[in-house]
Structure 1
Amino acid sequence: MQSFTWLFIIVGTIVLIAMVNSYFNWWLKSIIVIYYGVLSFLFIVISNRINEKYSGIAPVPEAYWDKNSQWAYTASNLFLLPFIAVLL
C-alpha cells in the first residue's frame, strides 16, 4: 500500500474540496465520493493484477510497460478530468 500513498493524498484532496464546496447538494457530494472511491479501488486492483502477471520475470517484458503505462494514462484521465469539472 505504500506505493499508493500519493493516490490516497490526491483522492483525499479532491474529496475534501468537493465536501467543503457549499454549491454542491448532498447527493452530488455523495456521487463524487462514491465515484472516486470506486475508481481508487479499481486502480489498485488492476495495478496489482498487472504487477502479479509479470512478477518474477527478468528482464521485465515490454508488454508490462505497455499495459502499465496505458492503465496509468487511462486512470489519470478518469481521476483528473472530472476533477476539473468540479473546480469549474
Structure 2
Amino acid sequence: MDGRRIIAECKKGPLIKKPGSPEYPLLTAAIGQALLFDADETDLLVAAVPDTPSFRRISEAWRNRPRLRASGIEIALVSRTGAVFGLSV
C-alpha cells in the first residue's frame, strides 16, 4: 500500500468460547514472530487473529501498551467475511 509492504503473522483461534484461554498465547506468539520478520522500516508489521470477542478484548487492552507501540506491530482482527479491523491503513 502506497509503497509499503504489509507483512502479517496470522494465527488461528477458536471462533467460539472454549475452556481455557488459548487467545493469549496465540496473540503473544503472533506478536513475537512479527518481531523477527526481516522487514524494512517502511513495512507494516501485523499480528492477525480472528475477530472474536476474546481476541477483541485482548487486542484493545494491548494496542496502547508502550512496548507494543514502540515495536510498530499492529494487531489486526479478521472477521469470517474477510473484513479487517484495527489497522492504521
TM (normalized to structure 1)?
0.30
Bigger Rg, which one: 1
TM (normalized to structure 2)?
0.30
Is the strand fraction higher in 1 or 2?
Answer: 2
Is the helix fraction higher in 1 or 2?
Answer: 1
